[in-house]
Amino acid sequence: MSWFLPTFQLIRKAVEEAYEGVRCGDGGPFGAVVVKDDQIIVRCHNMVLKNMDPTAHAEVTAVREACKKLERYDLSDCEIYASCEPCPMCFGAIHLSKMKCLNDFLHRDWYMEHKQRQH
């Protein structure tokens, strides 16, 4: 599949960001990147500890930063890639921003592929 490698690389960037967040003590091991026109426009990690904000998950932080950067709240022309499947709060934030989240498709695809191999 043509989308697999770029998707994998983008999720890898999100994972690298998660490591960075832990290294500098900003928060838990979660990262996210926002992509527009095949370019990463925002890289974020969990900021709960640094900001003393329980809502500063990587994806929510990425939504906020992308909105600030593009100076709008509709991110329907963007995609978000996260280091793991978003929690309900982040899922809500991503949904409200109208971004596409390809993690879910990837997980489902891997699951189906793995499942088919078992049978």
Active site residues: 59
**Residue 5 vs 95, nearer CB to Zn ion:** 95
Closest contact distance (angstroms) between CB of 55 and Zn ion is: 8
**Residue 66 vs 90, nearer CB to Zn ion:** 90
Residue appearing with tokens 């990690």: 45
**Contact positions toward Zn ion, by CB under 5 A?**
57, 87, 89-90
Cβ within 8 Å of residue 16, ≥6 positions away: 31
- E strands, 1-119, in order: 31-36, 39-45, 78-82, 100-101
Type of residue numbered 99: M
**Residue 89 vs 112, nearer CB to Zn ion:** 89
**Cβ atoms 94, 74 nearer than 8 A:** no
Closest contact distance (angstroms) between CB of 113 and Zn ion is: 26
**Cβ atoms 45, 71 nearer than 8 A:** no
CA 25 to CA 22: how far, in whole Å? Answer: 5
